[in-house]
Amino acid sequence: MTWKARLLAGAVVLFLACNITLLFLKNEKINRTYHVDEWTSVKKQDLLETMPARGVLAPKEEQHFYYENSTGTFKGFLVEKGDEVQQGTGLFEYSPDDITLTKEEFQIEKDKLENEQENLESHISDLESMQRTLSSAPVEEDQPNPNVYMIQTLERDIYEKELQISRIDSEIEKYEDLIESADESLLNLTVESEIDGTVKSIKHDLTNPVVTVISNEQKVTGVFSEQEIKKAAEGMKVFITPEGSNKKINGTIEKILNHPTSVPHAETESRYEFSIAIDESNELESFHGEHVDVRIVTNEVMDTLTVPAEAVKKAKKGKYTYVIQTNGRVERKKIETGIKINQTQEVKEGVENGELILLERPPFLKSDFPFITSMEPKKLKKKDLKELRKKDMLKYTSRGFLSR
């Protein structure tokens, strides 16, 4: 190496050593200006942490209707499979013949009892008349009444007849109840749908349930894995999106079954059914059985301050970010962070809404150092310049020169 090369190398080393020394001096402020390429503002928004899942649209309700022999003889169906029904639509009906016949038999028995009761009352009236006659018959003084025994016998007979009438009263009341029950059965010979929906199935062999009706309203059903069920809970908010659609529908987890869909096995993962109630305000025109994408909100923070995650720096004493000040300098601010969802970080304390922050931290950047940004004349518009007051133009121009 020639003496010129040695001299050049020594000069380079000395230059680098001086600059590095200046960079790490703590008590000396170096008059350094940083070029800022990217920045953004602190925003206030809602943060939602969601868990994806798959589901399928199913009827909200499924009602079964049963045929009961005790109600009467089956007469016939009033609907067919696939028919649209409304609340109150007749599904099937019982024959009134048996009930009418039974009611007539009850009425005959009641009439017989009432006739028997009238005969007993008439007999009692005769006995009482005889009793009064015997009681009023003249008796000689100082002689026993020869009719006493007959009067007592009549009293006993009257008492027995009254007991018979009392028993007959009870029997008559029983048949009156049976007749009333038969009348009610005649009024309820038709079994009606309790919901608006569609007839899902009809069993003509009369095995129960003979008719099944599914509702027009829908819900979402699906299954969770063992990991997913630990994150989900009943009452959580849900966003539902039908396949091939951009429409977002609101819902709520209605029920999670805590027992698996099949017999648990040590070698296979268990799965658990869940159902989601769709908000009534949503209009959904989809078929039962259509698949949907589901996003379950497992955590949410409303109206909170957020920054991009890359703007948050970690240090031994916590986390901080650099804020661009209106005086042309940057300020290091210590922040307290909350939840982080993807690349968005919640900031609980340390910054304010609308403050500008650096996305990248330039090397050796310290607080209260000046910064510059690139001028982008293409983004300037004549309209904006015209709207800018002369006073403001002079202020900004002066600041540009003086800050150098």
The dihedral through the CA atoms of 145, 147, 152, 153 has a sign that is: positive
Q: Which two tokens stand for residue 119?
A: 């005969």
Burial of 249 (0-12, 13-18, 19+ CB in 10 A): buried
Task: Give me the residues paired with residue 324 across strands.
Answer: 330, 356
pLDDT > 60? residue 30: no
Confidence of residue 314 (pLDDT cuts 50, 70, 90): confident
Name the least confident of 1-10, 146-155, 183-192, 295-304: 1-10
The DSSP element (H or E) to which 155 belongs, if any, is helix 148-187
Q: Are 235 and 68 in contact (CB under 8 A)?
A: no
Q: Are 106 and 182 in contact (CB under 8 A)?
A: yes
User: Quick one: pLDDT at residue 402?
Assistant: 52
Confidence of residue 88 (pLDDT cuts 50, 70, 90): very high
Pairing state of beta strands 291-308 and 43-59?
antiparallel
Task: Give residue-wise pLDDT tens across range 109-163.
Answer: 999 999 999 999 999 999 999 988 888 877 777 777 777 888 889 999 999 999 9
Burial of 287 (0-12, 13-18, 19+ CB in 10 A): exposed
Distance of CA 133 to the CA centre of its chain: 85
pLDDT > 90? residue 168: yes
* Cα three-residue angle 150-155-160, rounded to 5 degrees: 125
What is each CA distance from 351 to 41, 329, 354, in whole angstroms?
A: 10, 16, 9
**In this structure, what are the phi and psi dihedrals at residue 301, rounded to the nearest 5 degrees?**
-130, 120
Please state at what angle helix 97-136 crosses helix 148-187, rounded to 10 degrees: 160
Residues 19-28 have a mean pLDDT of 58
The DSSP element (H or E) to which 120 belongs, if any, is helix 97-136
User: Quick one: pLDDT at residue 52?
Assistant: 94
Helical segments of 203-266, H only: 226-231
Q: What is the pTM of this model?
A: 0.59
User: Quick one: pLDDT at residue 404?
Assistant: 46
CB atoms within 10 A of CB 118: 12
Separation between Cα atoms, residue 136 and residue 145, nearest integer Å: 11
Separation between Cα atoms, residue 16 and residue 224, nearest integer Å: 61
Separation between Cα atoms, residue 357 and residue 355, nearest integer Å: 6
